[in-house]
Structure 1
Amino acid sequence: MRKLNHLLKVGCAVFVFLIGIIGNSWGQNEKAYWNSHTQLIPMRLPSPPAGFKPEYIDLNGDGKPDAIKSMTHNNTPILWLDDDGNMKEGDLEGDMVNDCLLIDRNKDGIYGGQGDLIIDWVDEDGDGKADMQIVIEYPKEHNAGGHFMIVMDMDHDNIFNYINWNNFTLQCWDFSGLSDFYQDYSGRTAFLKIHTATYAMRDLRLNWENPFLFYDPDNDGLSEMAIRLLDSPKVKDSNYENRQLGGTIDWVSIAVDLDNDNTTNNEFDFDFTLGFQGEGFDYRDQVHPIKNMRGLPEADQFFIDPRYRQLTELVYPDHDSAWDLIFQRGKWDRINFVYDEDDDCGRWERVEFYDPKDPFKIGTRKGGIDNNSQSDAAGDRGEWDMDNSGKARLYLSRFDGRLHLYGAETGVWRIDQNAKYFQGFDRSWRNRDPQKFATVLYSDLDNNGFFDHIEYDLDGDSIMETVIDFKELGIDDKCELIDVSKFTYKDFTAMAKRMSEGIWKRANQAVEVARQYGINPLWYAKWMQASTIREKYNRGYWLQFYLYKDMENLFIRQGDADKLRQLNQAYYSGDWSIIEKKTKRSS
């Protein structure tokens, strides 16, 4: 009996102990916000712990709360400021319409100071929806970087910047799938940004990326064009003590989705980028008044630099003025061009430029064409007009039917047929640069603006085994010029369709000519089927090139130098009738 009683006591004790553990765990889970420590995406600011009582502050003495001192996860202090007069006691947070959130990340009791994060929403038109969001991220140490970013919601989808609410950092590069970014880069939108603290800037009306413009001409909620305009700091140093902007745009990129094939799971698919460098243009007359930015003056005490809340205007080229300012007002020394030949670009900014450097060196900052850490290791085609002799005009060449930069002295295509290597901010840690790659070099030897000299290294040994010279072949390199300075997006898509259809037509002509010489094109049956603009562009090029090389091999084996010359003339002039067998007329 004693043994039974002892067992019952032990059992009861264990039961009470387990209940205590479960109860304590339940209580802890009740207090913490449910998504504070999970592996799920942190999409919002965690609510204060259960039972926490916020402090309500009346800053202007009108008897109503103007601020909420509260707490978020990890005991991080936060401060909500009411800039539209609708805060009341009992609220756990401000609104995301016209209020301001300050996060004391370093827990030093200063909410908008060194090491802290500020998110400020502005409703300019009073419709109850924020039109602008300002994010200021101050570095841990004075003059050690930071962010000052303004996002403008022009398509009224209420999507702004992306904050990682687990560690309270700006992470505007995070995405889902291939290119579905959490930051609002899709649709008609814009942002202004500089990687420095506001207190290091004299004029907060100006910015470095000033602005980054996204266009949605077909109104599908995705971006078909993006223009980046830079006001490069004229005074700067490695310690970020000075980032003074002069009001001059001196660097521009224009990225275009030529075939308009962006869609769900392929949100960004820019095909080429046109770049401008030089003296640029003064944009200080591009003034945009700001309504409703000014919050309570009494709240300035919480900010290490409250000047941004006192702004009444911003100065930047907008969606409507940027294009003409670039082409009409801009003074440019150099034009850059890059085409995404392997169609693997999922970046929101642009197809990243190649540099006019060594075509055979590869790797970030290794002195090759992919020297830029964000460029594609292989697969893109870069061309450079180093004196702007071509005035940013383009042309469709006869030798490959593709888009080229008029005035470019040189060009390089580093081939990546299967798109194994691609660009992106994450390229460095992927460590997937190819060890060997095929290369095509383009040159304008007669300096008339059109490429007339092409070299091939197809086996990847850095030795150009094939050299084609148009002058030696008697081929006229001149083509019709394309002036994009007055283009609309419809003009770009029409040009892309014309280019694609032209390549596909010549590919089918090559099929018929190859058959005449006994070459079976069915080896390339995969490439003989195409329906989209991209498929006709890509498969048409490769189908024609492979058949050309097969015919070249045939004539070399036959020792027929005349046919070989005619073949080169036919392929590089885009006129297959030169080598087409003529049928005899019956008498």
Structure 2
Amino acid sequence: MNNRRKDIFANLHFLPQGMSLFLFGLILLLASCQEKKTNKYIATEKKPATHQKHTYRNGQQNKVMTPFRLPLAASKIKYIDLDKDGDPDVMEYTIKGGIPVRWIDDDDDMTNKDLEGDMDNDCVMLDLNKDGSYSGPKDLVVDWSDEDGDQKADIQAIVDNNTRDNKGKWTSHYIWFLDDDHDGVFGYIDWDKLGFEGWDHEGRANFFTDYNGKSTMLKVHITTWNIKDLSYNWENPFLFFDQDNDGLSEMAIRMVDEPIAIKDSKDTNIVWDFSHHISMSQMTFDLDNDTRPGNELDYDMSLKFKGQGFDYSDQVHTFNNIKGLPEANKYFEDPRWRNTEKLIFPDHETGYDLVFSKGKWKECWFVFDEDDDCQRWERVEFYDPKDPFKIGAKNGGLDNNPQADPAGDRGEWDLDFSGNGQLYVSPMDGKIHLFGAETGYWRIDQNATYFQGWQGWRGPNLQPEDFDKAEPNKFGTIKYEDTDKNGFFDRMSFDLDGDFKFEETISLNDLGLKDQAKLYQPAKMKYKDYQNLFTEVANNQWINAQNALNVAQQHHISTGWYAPLSNPKSIREKYHDGYWLGLYLYKDLKRATKENKTFQNLLKKAYFSSNWKLLLQ
């Protein structure tokens, strides 16, 4: 018996022995319970907080300082004079982790006092698997070239390799970056991981790789020694346009030459070739030009063309200085890319026009970022023409593409290319639509609750910015149909309560309204024309909403409820708030006048012709 218990028992000496033993036991029991309760709270306070663990594809989440540079030498530097001219052409050393590094001096300005090569016209090779090759399986090579002699790089090549026995796609890179705006930014290497990381960024969309401003990227995920002709590429090119010279991109075009597997190749390593045809082109536009620091990428609308495409083998670009030091060829298992003097791709001056002048297309897809939450580096990703009510990556719905916004975008598809990629503004809703589209769906995310962010990958590619719950359980849907096959939508169906059933369908034909509108031909449009078109659409949405307010007030409907939608501060807010304000007032007027069938019919005509003046007295 411990001392504390002895003291308790002694204080019960005045009671009969049986009763004292009973009370003593009861006191010990209560004390034990209290002690356990106290210990429980103490243990809870001492226990460290736990957080749900996620495996993110982007390893940037746990970085303290961004590794912008290659680590300096951790060993003695060895200098090698390849051309016997008295100065070094190569330096070798190891960095942390014992990784061997080799620099090749392609412009003959290296000295034996240099701590590393330069980034204007040199090449760095990393023997990541330490097998002595530097350019073999799983190694990394980065090469810079100065084309105009200003001692600043204009071109960067990034080459990392797969293993010899893996000749497939997606596990290696062969990339060229052209710094068209001379800002010195190219592809970003994570020098901790020692690999290309095209998605690392600061803030929401300030990417370290050169997607901002005017630049060109050529890329394929195949090892160079498996490709027949290295003057061609897969994303060939990815063009970024800076239309107002603010260092940010307002437009981008991606052109794809899909790799073709070579059968019965004499060289068992060469298993891929390119068709020399652009068989798919995607273009995207920042319609309100609202990019700025903190909102570096904000595309609003994309067009995709698929089909036979066009031959671009005449789009040859020759270069003066991307060919490396001949004496260094012995260091490369595949020196072909180091000896090229040409790359073949459509550029900023020709690419857009070639899509329309030479392209033979079978389909055109359209997507509009209605909730304005896309800060992806490449485009507003497309919805698929699939089930409007299924949701989830690769689940057979509109957002089947893992990069697509689960909700908030509007997709339309011209699957026979009858509309030739033309656009129009429909009187039904005052929005830009794809001429020739048979159907379209707008999956509503009114307030961008399910924020897409900069990349939008879902599933195993979850990014640190993405919400754990990336997909809504309930969403509204608007369906568009061209029932008379004239290229213009003439019927809308609304599911605005999220029960996956359309509670209202409106037919312009039944209302005696025309569905036709002015056609806009992208083939004849410049970026400024797209911007002007959207500005006109947004202003008209707002004017229409003001007319709706006047009609509602004439019918004694209080409109102050919608004050949050009544003070737009930008072109985009005029577009967004104007549409929603008009829809709310339309529904209010329907309820308030439900007994007046004549007015109800006139109300539908006014709303779905974007002409509220029909109801103004």
TM-score by length of 1: 0.90
- CA offsets per residue over residues 190-236 of structure 1, 9 Å max, x none? 11000110111101000000000011110000000001111112327
Q: Is the 8 A contact 1:115 1:141 kept in 2?
A: no
Once the two structures are superposed, the pairs formed by residues 398-437 of structure 1 within 5 Å of their partners are 398-423=427-452, 424-428=455-459, 429=462, 430-437=468-475
Letter in 2 for 1:248: H
CA contact (8 A) 1:118 1:137 kept: yes
- Residue correspondence of structure 1 range 415-564 to structure 2 within 5 A: 415-423=444-452, 424-428=455-459, 429=462, 430-556=468-594, 559-564=595-600
Aligned to 2:19: none
Match status 1:201 vs 2:230: no
SS of the aligned residue for 2:417 comes to coil
Q: Is the 8 A contact 2:495 2:502 kept in 1?
A: yes
Per mean C-alpha deviation after superposition, the further-off stretch among 463-472 and 538-547 is: 463-472
Alignment-derived partner of residue 53 in structure 2: none
What SS does structure 2 have at the residue aligned with 1:362?
A: coil
Distance in structure 2 (CA, Å) of the matches to 1:114 and 1:123: 28
Distance 1:77 1:426 in 2: 35
Q: State the match for 1:21 in structure 2.
A: none
Counterparts of 2:439 and 2:456 in 1: how far apart (Å)?
Answer: 27
What is the match of residue 39 of structure 1?
Answer: 64
Aligned residues: 540
CA distance in 1, matches of 2:550, 2:333: 74
Matches within 5 A, 1:252-267: 252-267=281-296
Distance 1:241 1:461 in 2: 54
Residues of 1 paired with 2:549 and 2:270: CA distance?
A: 64
d(CA) in 1 for partners of 2:134, 2:431: 56
Aligned counterpart, 2:42 = none
CA contact (8 A) 1:55 1:70 kept: yes
1:156 matched to 2:194: no
Q: Is the 8 A contact 1:84 1:99 kept in 2?
A: yes
Conserved? CA contact 2:393–2:458, under 8 Å: no
Q: Residue 470 of structure 1: CA displacement?
A: 1.1
Instruction: Report 1:85-104 matches (<5 A).
Output: 85-104=108-127
Shift of residue 241 of structure 1? 7.1
What is the CA–CA distance in structure 1 between the aligned matches of 2:456 and 2:596, rounded to whole Å? 51
CA distance in 1, matches of 2:530, 2:330: 51
User: Shift of the alpha carbon at 1:578?
Assistant: 2.4
Letter paired with 1:59:
L
Question: 422-431 vs 454-463, which deviates more?
Answer: 422-431
Q: Do the aligned residues in 2 keep the contact of 1:114 with 1:304 (CA within 8 Å)?
A: no
How far 1:389 sits from its partner (Å)? 0.7
Query: 2:493 is paired with a residue of what secondary structure?
Result: strand
| Superposition map of 1:127-142 within 5 A | 127-140=150-163, 142=165
Offset, 1:141: 5.1
Partner of 1:54: 77
Structure 2 counterpart SS, 1:504: helix
From 139, 152, 170, the equivalent of 2:196 is 170
Q: Choose from 548, 561, 570 the match for 2:606.
A: 570
Q: Deviations over 1:92-126 (max 9, x none)?
A: 11110100000011111111111100000011111
Does residue 392 of structure 1 match 2:421? yes
Measure the CA separation in 2 of the matches of 1:509 and 1:196.
Answer: 58
- SS where residue 211 of structure 1 aligns? strand
Name which of structure 1's ranges 54-63 and 112-121 shifts more when overlaid on structure 2: 54-63
Tell me which amino acid in the other structure corresponds to 1:40: M
Q: CA deviation at 1:151?
A: 0.3
Q: Name 1:334's counterpart in structure 2.
A: 363
* Gap runs ≥5 in structure 2: 1-61, 463-467
Distance 2:513 2:237 in 1: 44
CA contact (8 A) 1:99 1:122 kept: yes
- Tell me the equivalent position of 1:15: none
Matches within 5 A, 1:100-139: 100-139=123-162
Work out the percentage of aligned pairs sharing the same amino acid.
Answer: 47
In 1, Cα distance between equivalents of 2:457 and 2:305: 26
CA deviation map 1:399-446 (0-9, x unaligned): 111100011000000000111224324433344111111000000000
**In the alignment, structure 1 residue 216 sits paired with structure 2 residue 227:** no
Superposition deviation, residue 64 in structure 1: 2.1
1:289 and 1:542, CA in 2 relative to 1: closer, same or farther beyond 3 A? same
CA distance in 2, matches of 1:90, 1:264: 40
Is 1:363–1:377's contact at 8 Å kept on the other side of the alignment?
Answer: yes
Measure how far apart 1:369 and its partner are. 0.7
Match of 1:347 in 2: 376
Aligned equivalents of 1:233 and 1:461: distance in 2? 43
In structure 1, runs of 5+ residues without a counterpart are 1-36, 583-587
TM-superposed deviation, 1:79? 0.3
Amino acid at match of 1:42: P
CA 1:570/1:99 → structure 2, altered by over 3 Å: closer, same or farther? same
Contact 1:43/1:165, CA 8 A, preserved across alignment: yes
1:422–1:241 distance in 2 versus 1, CA, 3 Å: farther
* Residue 615 of structure 2 is aligned to residue 579 of structure 1: yes
Specify the SS of the correspondent of 2:218: strand
What's the TM-score, normalizing by structure 2? 0.86
Question: 2:605 is paired with a residue of what secondary structure?
Answer: helix
Match of 1:562, SS state, is: helix
**2:98 match:** 75
SS of the residue corresponding to residue 608 of structure 2 reads helix
Shift in Å, 1:459: 1.4
Aligned-partner Cα distance in 2 for 1:48–1:201: 34
Secondary structure of 1:265's counterpart equals coil
Is the 8 Å Cα contact of residues 410 and 443 (structure 1) preserved in structure 2? Answer: yes
Matched residue type, 2:82:
L
